[in-house]
């Protein structure tokens, strides 16, 4: 079992507003993965969605990122395709905010 510590494909999501990120093909991965996310604004709420075919998406989990904070989550499931969807990104008056989300599938 191995881990992809730095995903060469870049983040699942890099957003300043409500947006849907690109899907990542994880069909060759193991049945686990790691999510890392960071918010530069007050807070952000985003969903991780999964798909069996890269076309039909369902919510898998919802996460909240806080001001300037970074967090990780261990995903104990096989997700053939993964993407992130920013639901809400909040910033201080006149400020800007950005949400980053990376997913690293486990290698089989």
CATH 3.40.50 for domain 2-107, yes or no, is no
What's the pLDDT score for residue 16?
A: 85
Instruction: Give the model's confidence band at 43: pLDDT under 50 very low, under 70 low, under 90 confident, else very high.
Output: confident
Name the β-bridge partners of 106. Answer: 3
Q: Domain coordinates of the chain in residue numbers? A: 2-107
pLDDT of residue 8 exceeding 80: no
CB 97 within 8 A of CB 13: no
CB 99 within 8 A of CB 46: yes
pLDDT of residue 99 exceeding 70: yes
> Tokens representing 82?
């993964």
């Amino acid at each position: 079992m191995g881990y992809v510590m730095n995903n060469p494909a870049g983040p699942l999501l890099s957003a300043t507003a409500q947006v849907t990120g690109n899907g990542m093909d994880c069909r060759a991965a193991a049945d686990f993965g790691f999510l890392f996310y960071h918010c530069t604004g007050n807070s952000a709420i985003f969903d991780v969605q999964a798909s069996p075919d890269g076309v039909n998406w369902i919510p898998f989990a919802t996460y909240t990122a806080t001001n300037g904070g970074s967090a990780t989550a261990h995903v104990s499931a096989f997700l053939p395709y993964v993407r992130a969807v920013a639901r809400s990104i909040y910033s201080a008056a006149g400020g800007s905010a950005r949400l980053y989300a990376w997913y690293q599938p486990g290698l089989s």
